[in-house]
A = this chain, B = another copy of it.
Amino acid sequence: MESPLADRGAAPKQGFEGAPDAWLVFDPEVAEGARDLAAGADVFVLTWLHRARRDVLAVHPRDDPRNPETGVFSTRSQDRPNPIGLHRVRVAAVDGLRVLVRDLEAFDGTPIVDVKPVLREEADRR
């Protein structure tokens, strides 16, 4: 992923909190998998949060000590045993192997693990 966010400190906690646009850059060997991504598509991007700590099991949500310590599986902390990020974003443009998405809070160089469409039933459920 290419993003103007240089590091973890610069990234907002969630994409809807004012994250910048980012480019998903696909390897040529998986290009066929990305061939139907198009502007307007709502997708989940799964990332590998390579700088996260994997030995953390409880955190103060949003790094705020006033929030009670909470098990990481009930938080969206980057620090967790398997640090996979889940980002719901909209595709803004496609340029060959490069896909521009809106409001993605991961920082520059974060590896992309998978991209999946959001299903209508997921979007509707409360």
Q: Which A residues have a C-beta under 8 Å from some C-beta of B?
A: 14, 16, 30, 32-37, 41, 43-44, 46, 57-58, 70-76, 80-82, 84, 86, 88, 113-117, 119, 121-126
Known: A30-B81, A73-B114. A86 touches B46 (CB 8 A): yes
**Which residues of B have CB within 8 Å of A126?**
123-124
A-B contact pairs, 16 of them (CB 8 A): A14-B121, A32-B71, A33-B72, A35-B71, A36-B70, A36-B71, A36-B73, A37-B74, A46-B86, A73-B115, A75-B117, A76-B116, A76-B117, A88-B122, A88-B125, A123-B126
Q: How far is the CB of A94 from chain B (nearest CB, A)?
A: 11
**Which residues of B have CB within 8 Å of A58?**
32-33, 35
Q: How far is the CB of A62 from chain B (nearest CB, A)?
A: 12
**Which residues of B have CB within 8 Å of A71?**
32-37
Contact check, B119 vs A76: say whether CB atoms are below 8 A apart.
yes
- Complex-state Cα separation, A37 to B123, whole angstroms: 22
Contact check, A46 vs B84: say whether CB atoms are below 8 A apart.
yes
